[in-house]
Amino acid sequence: MSYSAPNSYTDFTGASAGGSFIITDETLHSNINSLFTANNFLYIAGDSSFNVVSDVRTTGSPAVTVFSNTNVSAFVGTNLPLSVFAFGRNVAFATKYGFYELVGATTTKISDNLDNLIPLINFTNPVSGDVANIYNKVMPCFLFSYNDPIAGTRALMALYYNKKWFFASQGKSLTILSGGFQSGVPAIFATDGSNIWKLFSNTSNTIAWSLSTAWWAVKSHTQKKQAMKARIEMTTGSSTQTLTLTVESESAEIPYTFTAGSLGEWINSAGLLGNWNSSVFGQGGWAVRGVQIVQGDIEAYGNYIGYDIDSTMPGATINGLMLQYEKRASWAARSN
């Protein structure tokens, strides 16, 4: 490790209080992979360790630079340097066996729920990370190349908010992401090597998206359920939206198309329903935006029931997913 003299980026001579040192700590099993500054510390990341340089000062005559070099993680490090970033008072990073946060002197694995996904990450490509801002909620975001068993190799993002993980895709060809600020607001950007995009920034244009739930056992894994009604509650910015709900079980996948429409009414002074005509003499209605509810009859049968929702509605927030079902036989054999 080499360091320059105070107020200089180029002078590394000892006469100017520059210098160097060699880390002989036995916890540094391989190379120094990343240097990262945050929270008034310099973090030194190795394959299996983190060291922290702090309390840097120049003293004496002739001047000498002194500092504290402390090992804070003797087992967990990273050799994915683009994945290291600050999140609040913590440092988040990726390894080839999970995603972690360094909290003070403690490394905490935050990706236990993703253990089955980690082997499908292509670590021959970069793994990068930074802070994303989605609907004014800031959260760690990691971008990696994912060997999708169904869709093939593609770029995938894993985001962590309120101790829960979810995934996002902003294009299959993205390679590296990085965060920044615009007018004091966190923003995140990515490149495919030729272009740069700002991610999660457009909430008005239509874009194809899908939401998939887990398959619900509904308290009993051994009892069959007959699904009868489905209900989706959402908040949207437009009056009419269409979405496709696929009800899934271990036996079948059944698609349904639901349309959400919300038109308001007004009553005149005589207590009668009022109407208005447009300039082309067509009758108009009052569009109401906000909370909308779509629901309808469905048919599905199985030990497990799940939803897959597809739509192109922009800026929608799913507030609730509901299922009405009846219990059927327990320990029944699977039937198709």
Question: Counting beta carbons within 10 angstroms of the beta carbon of residue 177, is it exposed (0 to 12), middle (13 to 18) or buried (19 or more)?
Answer: buried
* Residue 8 belongs to a domain: yes
* Residue 250 belongs to a domain: yes
Give yes or no for a contact between 63 and 84, defined as CB atoms under 8 angstroms apart: no
Residues 215 and 325 in one domain: yes
% of the chain with per-residue pLDDT over 90: 65
Please report, for the domain that includes residue 306, its CATH number: 2.60.120
Residues 185 and 241 in one domain: no
* Residue 129 belongs to a domain: yes
pLDDT higher at 291 or 296: 296
Residues 105 and 176 in one domain: yes
Residues 181 and 146 in one domain: yes
Q: Which amino acid is at 221?
A: H
Residues 24 and 118 in one domain: no
Residues 45 and 16 in one domain: yes
Residue 203 clears pLDDT 80, i.e. is over it = no
3-class secondary structure for the chain?
CEECCCCCCCCCCHHHCCEECCCCCCCCCCCEEEEEEECCEEEEEECCEEEEEEEEEEECCCCEEEEEEEEEECCCCCCCHHHCEEECCEEEEEECCEEEEEECCEEEECCHHHCCCHHHECCCCCCEEEEEEECCEEEEEEEEEEEECCCEEEEEEEEEECCEEEEECCCCCCCEEEEEEECCEEEEEEECCCCEEECCCCCCCCCCEEEECCCECCCCCCEEEEEEEEEEEEEECCCEEEEEEEEEECCCEEEEEEEEECEECCECCCCCECCEECCCCCEECEECCEEEEEEEEEEEEECCEEEEEEECCCCCEEEEEEEEEEEEEECCCCCC
Residues 127 and 44 in one domain: no
Residues 227 and 295 in one domain: yes
The CB density around residue 289, as the number of other CB atoms within 10 Å, is: 12
Residue 284 clears pLDDT 80, i.e. is over it = no
Q: Would you state the pLDDT for residue 46? A: 94
Domain boundary among 37, 52, 73: 73
Residues 229 and 290 in one domain: yes
* Residue 204 belongs to a domain: no
Residue 240 clears pLDDT 80, i.e. is over it = no
Domain boundary among 73, 106, 127: 73
* Residue 203 belongs to a domain: no
> Which domain, by its residues, includes 41?
2-73
* Residue 165 belongs to a domain: yes
Residues 144 and 167 in one domain: yes
* Residue 312 belongs to a domain: yes
Residues 43 and 103 in one domain: no
pTM of the model: 0.80
Residue 267 clears pLDDT 80, i.e. is over it = no
* Residue 288 belongs to a domain: yes
Domain boundary among 176, 198, 220: 198
Reading the block at residue 227, the tokens are 């699904």
Least confident span in 26-30, 31-35, 163-167, 212-216: 26-30
Q: Would you state the pLDDT for residue 165? A: 95
Residue 288 clears pLDDT 60, i.e. is over it = no
Give yes or no for a contact between 199 and 130, defined as CB atoms under 8 angstroms apart: no
Q: Would you state the pLDDT for residue 171? A: 87
Residues 121 and 145 in one domain: yes
Residue 152 clears pLDDT 70, i.e. is over it = yes
Domain tally, the chain: 3
